[in-house]
Amino acid sequence: MPILKIDAVIFDMDGVITDTMPYHYRAWKKVYAGEGLLVEECEVYLREGQPGHRMIRQIFREHGKVFHEGLAKRMLEQKERIFKRIVRPVFVPGARAFLRHLRGKNIRTALVTGTARHEVHKILQGDFLDRFDAIVTGDEVKHGKPNPEPFLTALKKLKIRPDEAVVVENAPFGIFSAKKARLKCIALETYLDRAYLKDADYIVSSFRDLRKRLDFETLKTRGR
């Protein structure tokens, strides 16, 4: 079994820690339907992590619809209202146990998400966020995924190099962002088939599968 010697594991949130992408899709589906568009799950899941206005622009162009920024702003606001009303804080199976496993090995953790910080606090309630040594939210960066800025910001907060961490993602834009930041990436097959996750260093079907296929060891050089 390969052993990854690292200082930290950096997690995406939607589809990695929380099983919230189906709620995002339901909200987007309703908003797009109001504009006369029928969007499939895959169209939304493939763009996970991307800023919402870019997603809208791309989907409109692919469907031959006219796009403008005012429309995107209105659709985003509507989507967020629907999402807040329907979302339930459900965790991806094995996520919390894996966080405890890493903590037991003295490996730090970080959360990198395109969601705004105030929304993150609503979804991950209580003291759960205290389990992360660093958190980067969508409103703290200028460029979201697939730009590497979110993960580079996490590395800066953790005060480590790219070779001292690994990312857990579940979508192409997140994987691309991690690789551009020169990080190794583990992809979870939460919503997408592994064919869409092929650029990751490792692809696993679940956290249980991850525990079977990879082991983790903390770096000794930091002297914590």
Catalytic residue IDs = 12
Asked if residues 75 and 35 have their Cβ atoms less than 8 Å apart, the reply is yes
How far from 6 is each of 17, 98, 103, 165, CA to CA, in Å? Answer: 20, 15, 13, 5
Rounded Cα gap, residues 186 and 80, in angstroms: 29
The SS3 call for residue 46 is coil
DSSP letter at 9 equals: E
Q: CA torsion sign, 157 to 18 to 55 to 173?
A: positive
Q: What are 112's two structure tokens?
A: 């990198």
The backbone torsions φ and ψ at residue 148, rounded to the nearest 5 degrees and listed phi first, read -75, -5
Which has the closest alpha carbon to 27: 91, 75, 97? 75
Q: What residues form DSSP beta bridges with 111?
A: 11, 135
Report yes or no: 120 and 113 within 8 Å, Cβ to Cβ. yes
